Amino acid sequence: MLGQYFYNESLRKTIIAFGSLFNDIAITRKNSAGTEVQTLKVPLAYGPKQKFITRLEQDPNDNQAIAMTLPRIGFEINGFSYDPQRKLNRILKKKIVSTTADKELKQMSVQYSPVPYDVGFELFVMTKNSDDGIQIVEQILPFFQPEYTVSIKEVPEMDTIRDVPIVLNSINYEDTYAGDFTERRAIIYTLNFTAKSYVYGPVTTAKPITKVQVDTYDNLQDQAPERLQRYTVEANVDASLGDDNFGFNETTSEWV
């Protein structure tokens, strides 16, 4: 019943849009004289990946000299939930007519209202030094009040561009500085976000009726009728008018 294949990449685009907000963060380090001596671009990666791909990308020859490089940022989806507050009338349709000049290719695309979903994201910031961590977090927080809105080209074939607010819900901070000397210290900030996104259904297409032909007969079909009249109406398609109501050519032929 639901098996009509379609894939608008709504969620993938949301992930990319979310990630791209944080892909250009850098921190600096200054010496005691106040001179900037290091400027580090912070690596960012989507967390969930195939283990073997991660291994082959990062350390294919098993010769990684270090545990990992810090600071770095990771992010992942942590859930989806339907948002009834943004619910749209489900029978609303968006229609768009292709602007091709070719009458045979001209068609209308139709898509029903999208379904509002909140996409939960977690962004993890891990650093070796406290100052690195607060530099990164301080470059993120001012942009979220508490949301930051991006415009996403959600369904290009329908010219659908929608503003998606990304809301910063909470920030957790974990610093395992206490304890045994042999325990690893980890400074991790976890920022929880909600992207107020939409999920789109399939786009259906239908070609417009450009020609109608009606034949009139003098009797019922089983009485071997003779045709009396043929009435034809044909749309006068103008290539420059993509979704115009055209004009019509009417033709009447009579056999009396």
Partner 1 sequence: MPTNHFFSKGTISEQYLYEDLIIEALQIFGHDVYYLPRTLVSKDELFGEDPLSRFDDAYLIEMYMDTVEGYAGEKEIITRFGLEIRDETTFTLSRRRWLDLVSHDANLISTTQPNEGDWIYMPTQGRLFEISFVDVDDPFFQVDNLPVYKLYARTVEYSMEDLDTGVADIDAIETKYSTDALDWQFLGEQGPTTIFNQQIAIERGTYSGAWPGSGVIELQDSTNTPPAAGQMLLGENETGFAAVLTEDSDAYYAWFIINEDFRIETLDTGSDNEYLQTQATNILDFTESNPFGDPTDSM
Site for partner 1 contains 16 (CB under 8 A): yes
Quick one: 23 or 249, whose CB is closer to partner 1? Answer: 23
CA pair distance 55, 61, nearest whole angstrom: 9
Return the closest-CA partner of residue 203 out of 113, 115, 119, 118.
113
Dihedrals φ, ψ of 54, to 5°?
A: -60, -45
Q: Which stretch binds partner 1 (CB under 8 A): 15-23, 83-91, 205-213, 232-240?
A: 15-23
Range 181-200, binding partner 1 (CB under 8 A): 181-182, 184
Buried b (16+ CB within 10 A) or exposed e, 179-192: eeeeeeeebebebe
Asked if 51 interacts with partner 1 (CB under 8 A), we say yes
Closer residue to partner 1 in complex, CB, 41/207 = 41
Q: Is 74 exposed, middle or buried (0-12, 13-18, 19+ CB in 10 A)?
A: middle
Which residues, 6+ apart, have CB-to-CB distance to 70 below 8 Å? 126, 127, 128, 132
Asked if 68 contacts 60 with a C-beta cutoff of 8 angstroms, the reply is no
Q: Which is nearer to partner 1, 176 or 216 (CB)?
A: 176
Among residue numbers 95 through 154, which ones bind partner 1 (CB under 8 A)? 124, 126-132, 143, 147-153
Nearer to partner 1, 68 or 212 (CB): 68
Helix (H, G, I), strand (E, B) or coil at 73: strand
Closest CA to 132 of 25, 24, 19: 25
Tell me which stretch binds partner 1 (CB under 8 A): 12-20, 104-112, 198-206, 243-251. Answer: 12-20
Q: Which of 71, 121, 140, 198 binds partner 1 (CB under 8 A)?
A: 71
- Quick one: CA dihedral 190, 192, 197, 200, positive or negative? positive
CB of 117 to partner 1, least distance (A): 17
Residue 69 in contact with partner 1, rule: CB under 8 A: yes
x/- contact string, 20-49, with partner 1 (CB under 8 A)?
Answer: x--xx-x--xxxx---xxxxxxxxxxxxxx
> What are the residues binding partner 1 (CB under 8 A)?
13, 16-17, 19-20, 23-24, 26, 29-32, 36-49, 51, 54-55, 57-59, 63-72, 74, 76, 124, 126-132, 143, 147-153, 161, 163, 165, 180-182, 184
